[in-house]
Amino acid sequence: MPKKPAQATWGGRFAAGPAALMLRFSESVSFDRRLAPFDIAGSQAHAAMLAHVGLLTDKEHAAIHDGLDAIGAEIIAGKFKWDTALEDVHMNIERALAKRVHAAAKLHTARSRNDQVATDMRLWLRHACAVLDDKLRHSQRALLAVATEHRTTLIPGYTHLQRAQPVPLAHHVFAWLEMLQRDRDRLAVVAAHANWCPLGSGAIAGTTLPIDREFAARLLGFVDARGRPQVTQNSMDAVADRDLLVEFAAACALFGAHLSRLAEDLILWSSTEFGFVELADAFCTGSSLMPQKKNPDACELLRGKSARLHGHLTTLLTLVKGLPLTYNRDLQEDKPPVFDAFDQAALCADVLAGAVTGLKVNAARCAAAVADPALLATDLADWLVTRGVPFRDAHHAVGAAVKLAEQTATPLNKLPLAELKKINPAFVDGWEQVFDLKRALAKREGTGMPGPKQMARQFTRWEKTLK
């Protein structure tokens, strides 16, 4: 049987090339080609550094730089021919460069694919965090618009999915904004952690050649707030570390959990049983059998996609767990979950923005639900407290009043005072003023509470934050 030719890039010590099955198994170019712009930027910085320290002539550097630009343009135009036999994005680009530029054989001086891919991923992550941050901000803005449009609408707030206390709809929406803001904070932390340059770590132990790591780092924007270059401090850790990817997947997973809870609220609210909102037609679907159905599929998928995002975090943790230092080929499997986490999180953020933009609020249904006087049972207990009743006794007395209201099918605020006095003599005329919703909310003016002044403050804060 004729022997296959040895692999061109690393094939020096091989007598024969890899089996077709092995190629199919080991290639990553089908998914890591999306790193191409970052790989090119990294190679251009590396080439500039090599020229800076005299390992490339200016002419060689210029040829490499321009050649990489041309390859980048070809990729964008969709004309680049990716070859799985060349395994990954790095070798595809290097081989294409070799075809154009004689000096290409010098590009990989003082570099390994190990520090190269670590650099590519850090560049990609910085970009991914910025894109996601923008999309999250956009979805927050769409939610803020809902809060603004329905500024005066009140709804029951829920604990245990049982009606608890009245809140402005906007207070509930602002709770979602807080969740998404924390997701953005987490992405910013990931981006900051990504901002260290691994280039120069080589395969594991750097290089004997006189490179200038800081020079390349500066070119790639791996700098602190004062413009000082930031380079990784241990060559072994630099090629083995995938913490960043785990952190990114964790940020996406938590974003997914938030989306899922938010979506669940909307699914409940849009059910006939609640009827607080109607979701936009454009983000719902019908039933092929039941003509009356309008299903909240976008929200259900937001809830469902979170499972996928959680899975990616688990995949990455499992991938790195138990790997001996330093680089192992297992690590190539980091990319599909990370890329999909980004793609799905980005898509979800867009869908959230789209779905809430057409949201209709049914003011009448909200008003009817929030008119339930039992929602202010706690306020009644607080009122007894102001009359000197210890809270535990007040709670008990109101509990008895609620029971009586239920037994006699009377709204809580319509119970006869004489009956209430039997429960606790602290009940006096004027007790029913507690059931005025306006009064109830106006009394909640501590920081973070849903009183009107606090709400106004939060509107101002979010308008400023989301500008």
Which residues contact ligand ARG by CB under 6 A?
A: 28, 32, 88, 113-114, 117, 327, 329, 331-332
Asked whether the beta carbons of 280 and 299 are under 8 A apart, the reply is no
66 three-state secondary structure: helix
Report how far residue 36's alpha carbon sits from residue 70's, in angstroms, rounded to the nearest whole number. 12
Q: Which is nearer to ligand ARG, 324 or 388 (CB)?
A: 324
Report how far residue 376's alpha carbon sits from residue 100's, in angstroms, rounded to the nearest whole number. 77
To ligand ARG, the closest distance from the beta carbon of 35 in angstroms equals 9
162 three-state secondary structure: strand
Report how far residue 207's alpha carbon sits from residue 432's, in angstroms, rounded to the nearest whole number. 81
Tell me the catalytic residues: 160, 287
Longest CA–CA span in the chain (Å) reads 104
Q: Residue 277: enclosing H or E segment and its boundaries?
A: strand 277-278
Handedness of CA 431, 433, 437, 443 (dihedral sign): negative
Q: Which is nearer to ligand ARG, 88 or 94 (CB)?
A: 88
Which amino acid type is present at position 75? I
Instruction: Tell me the C-alpha to C-alpha distance, in Å, between residue 106 and each of 42, 95, 362.
Output: 15, 12, 68
To ligand ARG, the closest distance from the beta carbon of 193 in angstroms equals 19
To ligand ARG, the closest distance from the beta carbon of 113 in angstroms equals 4
Q: Residue 164: enclosing H or E segment and its boundaries?
A: strand 162-168
Q: Which is nearer to ligand ARG, 49 or 240 (CB)?
A: 240
Asked whether the beta carbons of 465 and 181 are under 8 A apart, the reply is yes
Q: Which is nearer to ligand ARG, 113 or 126 (CB)?
A: 113
Report how far residue 116's alpha carbon sits from residue 90's, in angstroms, rounded to the nearest whole number. 8
To ligand ARG, the closest distance from the beta carbon of 110 in angstroms equals 16
Q: Which is nearer to ligand ARG, 10 or 391 (CB)?
A: 10
To ligand ARG, the closest distance from the beta carbon of 320 in angstroms equals 13
Closest CA to 94 of 115, 118, 78, 113: 113
Output phi, psi for 384, to 5 deg.
-65, -35
Asked whether the beta carbons of 351 and 302 are under 8 A apart, the reply is yes
To ligand ARG, the closest distance from the beta carbon of 37 in angstroms equals 16
233 three-state secondary structure: coil
Those residues with Cβ within 8 angstroms of residue 74's Cβ, 6 or more apart along the chain or in another chain: 80, 96
Token pair for 366: 């909200």
Q: Which is nearer to ligand ARG, 153 or 232 (CB)?
A: 232
Q: Which is nearer to ligand ARG, 88 or 247 (CB)?
A: 88
To ligand ARG, the closest distance from the beta carbon of 330 in angstroms equals 9
